[in-house]
Amino acid sequence: MKEIILIVDDNMDNVELLRKRMRAVGYETIEGYDGEQAVTMAREQHPDLILLDVMMPKLNGFEVCEILKKDETTRHIPVLMLTAKREIPDKVKGFDLGADDYVTKPFNFQELLARVRSLLKTRSSYRKQVEEERQRALDQMAEGVAHEVRNPVVSIGGFARRIIDELPDSDQKKKYAQVIVKETERLERMVKDIADFRLVPDGVRQGEDINVIINDTLLQVSQLLEKNRIEVKKEFAADLPPVFVNRKNIIIALMQVMTNAAEAMEEGGRLTIITTAVDNFWVLVEIIDSGRGIAAEDLESIFDPFFTTKMSGAGMGLPLVRKIIDDNHAMIKVESKVGKGTRVAISLPVEGAGS
């Protein structure tokens, strides 16, 4: 998917010019025209970079930069400030507030573009490093949990089952033992989820028909979909290029996404699955449900291990999806509104397109 640049300037002509130039070189853009819009759009849409004018109404660029850099959800977004002010104190102020770079007007577009690319490259490298460190820590933790917790849980469950077998039905202690068995089974499932996260193999990637993969995945979740009375609508593009993925792991990821969708529609609903080709480099898979949706404050955390909005579970489902997506050099984006539903967009690399 294209990197997104938020352009903010109170001069509409400047915004339109930058929008056209940035889109011409392959970036997606979103636009704002004052400081308050800039803050709102950055928090809601999380662009990959912000081109921020200094002199604006409501909130100036310095104030916007300070707000965004103090916000945990936006502080890692690179901010490139644009201004007609050439004085050194103004530049120093911008850097002190967290700006990542500074360009004075009128600017040469090629210079601006070089600075944009440099900031995006730095951010990409930082993201990769953080994710690799996070993954190593998770693998170590998952290995420890799977080993140290599984054996005691299995033992507790085993002894509780023996107690159940030896006690008469009238004995209250038998009911207590049944509760122990039920809870240990829940813990065993959680430990299995954690172990699965650690043990998913990288596997061999090869050209695959994504429409066939989706149909095979739907078969595996069909019982849950039928149980929850969910209508499935498929909008598959014909003659899609093969995607370069590991079939087994992508099915695991799609199953998890579809299962989450089904569980969000316990009283029925519609699951829409759309496939389209994008720019000869990607095939986009959209999985859209009409379920309860995800609160905005939770959306940023859904890929964090152990985070869950469910009453039970280890919270390892979507982190596992993210791991598989990353291993397959793919991309994933989740959009959701409470009471409206959730859209999961997965971009898979096309075979032979530089994967």
pLDDT, tens digit, for every residue of 264-285?
Answer: 998 899 999 999 998 788 999 9
For the segment 132-148, the average pLDDT, to the nearest whole number, is 73
Determine which helix (DSSP H) or strand (DSSP E) holds 79, and give its type and residue range.
Answer: strand 79-83
At 148 the pLDDT is 77
At 302 the pLDDT is 82
Distance, in Å, from the CA atom of 336 to the CA atom of 346, rounded to the nearest integer, reads 15
**Looking at the domain 4-107, which fold is it?**
Rossmann fold (3.40.50)
Burial class (CB in 10 A: 0-12, 13-18, 19+), 13: exposed
More confident residue, 250 or 144: 250
At 202 the pLDDT is 62
Q: Give the model confidence (pLDDT) of 2-47 as tens digits.
A: 789 999 999 999 999 999 999 999 899 999 999 999 999 998 888 9
Torsion of CA 81, 82, 88, 92, to 10 degrees: -10
Indicate whether 194 pLDDT > 60: yes
Instruction: Give CA angle at 77 (298, 45), nearest 5°.
Output: 50
Q: Which residues contact 3 (CB under 8 A, 6 or more apart)?
A: 27, 28, 48, 49, 120
At 199 the pLDDT is 57
At 90 the pLDDT is 65
User: What value does the CA radius of gyration of the chain take, rounded to a whole number of Å?
Assistant: 25
| Most distant pair of Cα atoms in the chain: their distance | 87
Which architecture, in CATH terms, is 206-349?
2-Layer Sandwich (3.30)
Indicate whether 164 pLDDT > 90: yes
Burial letters 230-257, b for 16+ CB under 10 A, else e: beeeeeeeeebbebbbbbebbbbbbbbb
Q: Is beta strand 101-104 parallel, antiparallel or unpaired with respect to 79-83?
A: parallel
Backbone phi, then psi, for 166, in 5-degree steps? -95, -15
At 211 the pLDDT is 97
Distance, in Å, from the CA atom of 102 to the CA atom of 96, rounded to the nearest integer, reads 12
At 91 the pLDDT is 67
Q: Give the model confidence (pLDDT) of 98-126 as tens digits.
A: 888 988 888 889 999 999 999 999 888 88
Chain centre to alpha carbon of residue 54: 31
Distance, in Å, from the CA atom of 167 to the CA atom of 351, rounded to the nearest integer, reads 61
Supply the pTM of this predicted model: 0.56
Number of residues in the chain: 355
Give the three-class secondary structure for 348. strand
At 311 the pLDDT is 46
Q: Give the model confidence (pLDDT) of 85-94 as tens digits.
A: 665 566 677 7
Indicate whether 308 pLDDT > 70: no
Give me the chain's average pLDDT, please: 86
Q: Domain coordinates of the chain in residue numbers?
A: 4-107, 133-199, 206-349
At 88 the pLDDT is 59
